[in-house]
Structure 1
Amino acid sequence: MMTLLKTYNHNDKQHQFSLPKRNFVTYAVYALIAVALLYLFVDPAAPPAAGSGATAASSTTTTKPSSSLPPSPYYEASSPIISTSSAAAPLCDYSDGEWVPDARPPLYDGTTCGAIKDDGRSCTANGRADTGYVHWRWQPRACDLPDFSADAFLRWLRNRHVAFVGDSLARNQAESLVCLLSSRSPSPPDLAHRSADGRFRRWVFRDDSGGNATVSVFWSPFLLKGVEKSERDGVRYNQVFLDAFDERWMSELHGIDAAVLSAGHWFRIPSVYHRGGRVVGCHGCDDYAAEFNRTVAESTSSFFSVFRDAVRRTLAEAARRHRHQSSSGAGGKKPQLVAFTTFSPSHFEGHWNEGAPCKKKADRELGYTETEMRKIVVEAVEEAASTMSSSNDSAQPLRFAALDVTALANMRPDGHPGPYMRKNPFAAAGNNTGDHRPVQHDCLHWCMPGPVDTFNQILLQTILLRAR
């Protein structure tokens, strides 16, 4: 400081400009304080923050789990960077991040939620003793994912209808949402409808002022019209009709405000494909080629191409019916959002039906199949969103979004039910009587509470963004 003052006074004499020494010291101190504050509070290298609440204060820097939490075999795995199309995704890229410790209890009790009372996702009720898998939350790298707010979701859903359409993972996500909403609903939801096999269900939350919020599940593993194989009945192949829609849910689209689609795993099962009233190909039927004529056997189709066609045609048909309803002035609701949950990897270590346990270590990289299935959904959603945004024939445009959960799901092999898909699994397998039959493990679906709740955490932010 003295050197600075001497230099300054020397310059004063040269330029015939004088400044009182006391004032100069004061100004210098003020300048240093300003520089210090600027350094402390402005970090040009820091990523912009988004969101609020408890997660807003969290750092995106990797933090080792505390000693009070069980060690996680997946925590050290680095997530592949996946960018979602800006035309079909929230402003925050929730697909790229890491799981970080969270000691808070889950929002609901899996042993008391009525939506999963009789299902294989209530892992604690079925005897799973370890609970470390519930004490993790997803932290995106470039922003924050706000905590799930049942109050906010119920406010948006008041007098609205959200439907989950697709396979058993769609059902898993629907049950998660019902349990999450039940944590804040003034009264338990009414199970307004349940099919005999449980694949079609509808819950209604009612409030004191007469409003209602509806959550439905529609079983449609191919999204298109299809008939599932049945080993019990000797039917070894799915029958998929590529030019026909599944009207069991598509005909209800006019009464749905948000449709959340989830499909993919059933397309990997041996299937026969139909179009125009004739068989046009098959997948996984090489060992049974004698059952088909040579032309069909040699035109074996890639399930990737069939899945891509099914996703694109489904989204295009949803947009077409939305435009038709708008232009015709037909009554009823018009869907506001069609969201597609991307492929959720399984973690079987061996064959799923031979007692294969779930992997104890997370995959550091997605496999080719998972990568392609995810890519198909993201690109199809982007295409549908672009097509809709370029059309001006609807006063209430239909929004499309991809719930990109593939990477975050890939890192959570501990979140599956494993053997706890039924009560007392080891006793049921006869292991206590010396009959050591393999215990079947579920390494596809998700425990509740568990990682699947994060799917709905992202869904809420997607809905709120589209609503704005």
Structure 2
Amino acid sequence: MGITNPFKDQSLSLTKRLLPWTLYALLPIALLRFYFYPVPDTELPHSTPITITSYSSSASSPPFSENKKAYDPPCDYFDGKWIRDMRGPLYNGTTCGTIKEGQNCITHGRPDSGYLYWRWKPSQCRLPRFEPHTFLQLVNNKHVAFVGDSMARNQLESLLCLLSTASTPNLVYRNGEDNKFRKWHFPSHNVSVSVYWSPFLVQGVEKSNSGPNHNKLYLDHIDERWGRDMDQMDLIVLSIGHWFLHPAVYYENDSVLGCHYCPGLNHTEIGFYDVLRKALRTTLSSIIDRRGGKGNGIDVIVTTFSPAHFEGEWDKAGACPKTKPYRNGEKQLEGMDADMRKIEIEEVEDAKTKANELGGFRLEALDVTRLTLLRPDGHPGPYMYPFPFANGHKERVQNDCVHWCLPGPIDTWNEIFLELMKKWREHPRTEE
């Protein structure tokens, strides 16, 4: 017959009574610990491998209403900061075959990878990672056209790489020097994505080695190389800016309006700011006239000016040497970058007013100017060419501090682009 312990039941009963109160006491202490001592943000060593997150084409598509509630306030995706993101990009330099060689920084031997691990964090909300299935569903049976200069092409190639993680596109058309006119088809959703080279959007004659050393712009006529296909487009992404900095003569109403940097010609110097405004106004007005209020509405995105980051001569090895983003407050949006953006935003808002009177036309600015201003580390630099220092250090090597590495910061443009499209889905256009 065993000896019983008279305290055993009392001890267990006391433990059961005290345990909940102990947990209640520890919880606020733990919360205070994380409040005053958050988990530190760690720096990535240069040897950190690139982590690629891909989507299977057979994966189930996420619902459109993901993390979306009716009472959510509108989000300003363009006000924020860059934060570390250890997940890395959705693709790399070898997972899609559409990257222009000069922007394929990984395969060209760029030695640092830290520029791939930053994410744009809006101040008042969350920017989801790109969802390729969602994008393709939103443009199902539609034609998305990127029209403009090489920044339009840069954004297009980013989008194709992002979408290729879910569905493989087929190149169905190519034409022009350097493949300036191309079209892809996604059979899975009957989606067409194309690029039209048109660095002024309006009719223009580009300077050449055999002709005058200036461009010619006809500011009251859109470029029909893309304009004639407008009826076949459902969504247009417009992107211009850098080509307006080049010498040019401007025409309006079949007469010379003036010029920009045209020594030796008897024309009035008028700069390029008003010319950019006129070109964009002509373009948006033409789209409204041809597609607004006719029962075959169209959506338009205007991607704002993307700043360059040259810190020296274009042919010096350290022309854009930074390997991290600017911190908040370290770099201000000012000067030409701010003026170009201001003109584009104003013209978009003015065109919105006109379009609202007609219906059948939706227009938004993809305001990337500030968020790209903060990313001097995202350009190819000397790695616009393969392994530029393979045979030893070179004093002079051409740099690209204008375009963006793929993958790189420009992928964020398409993440915000997708969020604008989600907003459009919740507020369908009005048709007359």
Q: What TM-score comes out, normalization by structure 1 length?
A: 0.73
How far is 1:275 from its partner? 1.8
Tell me the equivalent position of 1:143.
125
Summarize the alignment of residues 245-394 of structure 1 with structure 2, pairs less than 5 Å apart. Answer: 245-285=222-262, 288=263, 290=264, 292-293=265-266, 296=267, 299-323=268-292, 325-326=294-295, 334-353=296-315, 357-360=319-322, 362=326, 364-391=331-358, 394=359
Residues 1:205 and 2:186 aligned together? yes
Tell me the equivalent position of 1:157.
139
Tell me the equivalent position of 1:417.
380
Tell me the equivalent position of 1:221.
199
Cα distance between partner residues in 2 of 1:193 and 1:261: 20
Deviations 1:143-174 (A, max 9, x none): 11121100100111221111111000000000
Per the alignment, in what secondary structure is the counterpart of residue 105 of structure 2? coil
Q: What TM-score comes out, normalization by structure 2 length?
A: 0.79
Cα distance between partner residues in 1 of 2:238 and 2:198: 9
Residue type at the aligned position of 1:160: K
**Of 185, 189, 199, which residue of structure 1 is paired with 2:169?**
189
How far is 1:379 from its partner? 1.0
Residues 1:459 and 2:417 aligned together? yes
Unaligned regions of 5+ residues in structure 1, if any?
1-32, 41-58, 71-89, 327-333
Report if the CA contact (8 A) 1:258-1:335 is conserved: no
Tell me the equivalent position of 1:81.
none
Per the alignment, in what secondary structure is the counterpart of residue 343 of structure 2? helix
Shift in CA distance, 63/174, structure 1 to aligned 2, threshold 3 Å: farther
Identity fraction in percent: 47
Per the alignment, in what secondary structure is the counterpart of residue 292 of structure 2? helix
Residues 1:96 and 2:73 aligned together? no
Report if the CA contact (8 A) 2:44-2:114 is conserved: no
How far is 1:317 from its partner? 1.1
Tell me the equivalent position of 2:221.
244
**Of 67, 84, 96, which residue of structure 1 is paired with 2:43?**
67
Deviations 1:344-402 (A, max 9, x none): 000011333565611527461123100011111111111111221133xx4xx210000
Tell me the equivalent position of 1:106.
89
Per the alignment, in what secondary structure is the counterpart of residue 233 of structure 1? coil
Report if the CA contact (8 A) 2:221-2:282 is conserved: no
Tell me the equivalent position of 1:177.
159
Unaligned regions of 5+ residues in structure 2, if any?
1-23, 47-72, 427-432
**Of 90, 101, 113, which residue of structure 2 is paired with 1:131?**
113
Report if the CA contact (8 A) 1:120-1:421 is conserved: yes
Per the alignment, in what secondary structure is the counterpart of residue 173 of structure 1? helix
Q: Name which one, 1 or 2, has greater alpha-carbon Rg.
A: 1
How far is 1:310 from its partner? 0.9
Q: Which moved more, 1:268-277 or 1:340-349?
A: 268-277
Cα distance between partner residues in 2 of 1:236 and 1:354: 25
Report if the CA contact (8 A) 1:113-1:179 is conserved: yes
Shift in CA distance, 368/453, structure 1 to aligned 2, threshold 3 Å: same
Cα distance between partner residues in 1 of 2:316 and 2:221: 35
How far is 1:323 from its partner? 3.0
Deviations 1:196-238 (A, max 9, x none): 421111111112xxx41111101000010011122x3253101
Instruction: Give the structure with the larger helix fraction.
Output: 1
Cα distance between partner residues in 1 of 2:366 and 2:153: 15
How far is 1:324 from its partner? 6.7
Cα distance between partner residues in 2 of 1:313 and 1:192: 30
Cα distance between partner residues in 2 of 1:92 and 1:357: 35
